[in-house]
Chain A
Amino acid sequence: MCLAIPGKILSSDVNNGVRVGRVQFGGITREACLDFVPEAVVGDYVIVHVGFAISVVDRAEAERSYELLQSMGVLEGELQSDLEPS
């Protein structure tokens, strides 16, 4: 659960006073809080940890890290949720 996964911001909204976005990780999208990266905009790549974007990275970096995590087979466990459909 301590891994951080790079993904692409698809949308950005304010919900209950908090900025949230849909973030795409390969074939999976998840909601992520964007409050810690106010500079990030739709289309940017962010590193997401337990549903919170913690830094903005460039696309090449994001794609490389994503492929690595996928090759290690750890993505599914990390994004596992009983409450949110894949």
Chain B
Amino acid sequence: MKYLDEYRDERIARGLVAMIAQRATRPWVLMEICGGQTHTLMRFGIDELLPKGVEMVHGPGCPVCVTPLETIDKAINIASRPGVTLISYGDMLRVPGSRTDLFHVKANGGDVRIVYAPTEALKFARANPGRQVVFFAVGFETTAPANAMAVWQAKREGLRNFSMLASHVLVPPAIRALLSSRRNRVQGFIGPGHVCTVMGYREYEDLIREFHVPIVVGGFEPVDLLEAILMLVTQLEEGRAEVENQYVRSVTYQGNLHAQKILGEVFEVCDRKWRGIGGIPESGLNIRQEYADFDADRIFGTQGVTADEPAECISAEVLQGLKKPTDCPAFGVRCTPENPLGAPMVSSEGACAAYYQYRRHLVGAKGSA
């Protein structure tokens, strides 16, 4: 229990670990969807505190990680053109494309900038009417409303030099794809707390009806995750499959209706390819026809760009919970945060980066918890 003394609520954490051990009479495989939760699990060694039979596998909830290679290539293509300023979130710059990354485009004179909010890109476009400003927008349902708002504002203001290369993904279709796979091992899910802050958890009830698998919407602190794991183990041991909400501090059943409204105004559901996983029906969001003038993919004619994934990276299996980062022969050797082979090693929410950062590479071949 070497990590427990780092917990603010050490007594509560210790109690929860004991209760999980008491409840679990059989082995269970649980998945946290969100990369932020993966980060907390690794930082606090929660996977190592759990009783042996309760295994955590890590899900595809890292938007940077699942953005298709060809979308990175499109961003690189657009950013390399004269007169263009490409703006994105920091993590996107180091994600490897087929031949290079955005960081190298910037180093070679391309105008590539980092922001923390899409509205900053909008401000930049207003102040620089002579430049074509493209916001490279990735993200799950948490991020999509913010990106939608930028497009909505640009249209309302009649901004002619702002557009968006959008690659949004949705969580419930990804869970459906994982559960439909013959190789699936996951028996219960920790639902993504901030995605559900925006979307609520009505959609997850459909998944439970379809697959009879418990889902507990969880927060991001160690005690949140331990509590969510306890709730999942309790449901599994009792043979129940329900949606429960552990993260009541932020999540309501309906979610944030203001955010959902703008999301629906600007985006529509579409089929989407996930890096490493492949195509998942109705798992993405595209810019609606009414906002086509702000769709960088159409404006710059990059719709046809395609790319093949590098063979050595096992991110497909990592993102589906089939393998741990430490199962990869390249992990920590040929693939490090400085020289990543795949996106999960780049993003702060990627499972490989989380394992690397918390020194799991030192245990190397011993591998997973």
Contacts from A to B (Cβ < 8 Å)? 1-4, 16-18, 20, 30-33, 35-38, 47, 49-52, 54-55, 57-58, 61, 64-65, 67-68, 71-72, 74, 77-84
Contacts and interface: CB of A to CB of B under 8 A. Distances in A.
Given A49-B194, A64-B8, A68-B220, A74 B149 contact: no
A43 to B, nearest CB: 18
Given A2-B143, A68-B220, A82-B113, A52 B149 contact: yes
B34 A79 contact: no
B12 interface: no
A36 B120 contact: no
Contacts of B198: 54
Contact of A54 (B61, B87, B259): B259
B249 A61 contact: yes
A77 B259 contact: no
B116 A51 contact: yes
27 contacts: A1-B64, A1-B89, A1-B143, A2-B36, A2-B61, A2-B139, A2-B143, A2-B194, A4-B142, A30-B116, A33-B146, A37-B258, A47-B250, A50-B89, A51-B120, A52-B146, A54-B142, A54-B198, A58-B249, A68-B40, A72-B39, A72-B40, A74-B348, A81-B116, A82-B114, A83-B124, A84-B115
A82 B250 CA distance: 30
Interface in B314-369: 347-349
A54 B194 contact: yes
Closest 10 CB pairs of A and B: A51-B117, A1-B89, A52-B146, A82-B113, A36-B258, A36-B259, A80-B90, A50-B146, A55-B250, A83-B120
B325 to A, nearest CB: 18
B90 A57 contact: no
B256 interface: yes
Contacts of A71: 43
Q: Chain B's interface: helix, strand, loop or mixed, by majority?
A: helix
Interface string B248-289: 011000001011001000000000000000000000000000
Interface of B: 8, 34-36, 39-40, 43, 61-64, 87, 89-92, 113-121, 123-124, 138-140, 142-143, 145-147, 149, 153, 156-157, 194, 197-198, 220-222, 249-250, 256, 258-259, 262, 347-349
A80 B116 contact: yes
Contacts of A58: 249
Contacts of A82: 113-115
Nearest to B193: A4
A65 to B, nearest CB: 7
A39 to B, nearest CB: 10
B256 A36 contact: yes
A49 B250 CA distance: 13
Given A1-B347, A4-B197, A55-B256, 17 more contacts: A1-B64, A2-B63, A4-B142, A31-B117, A33-B146, A51-B116, A51-B118, A52-B145, A54-B259, A58-B249, A68-B221, A72-B39, A74-B39, A74-B348, A78-B116, A82-B115, A83-B87
A16 B153 contact: yes
Contacts of B34: 2
- Name the residue among A1, A30, A67, A77 with the largest chain B CB count within 10 angstroms: A1
A81 B114 contact: yes
Given A35-B149, A83-B124, A49 B142 contact: yes
B115 A49 contact: no
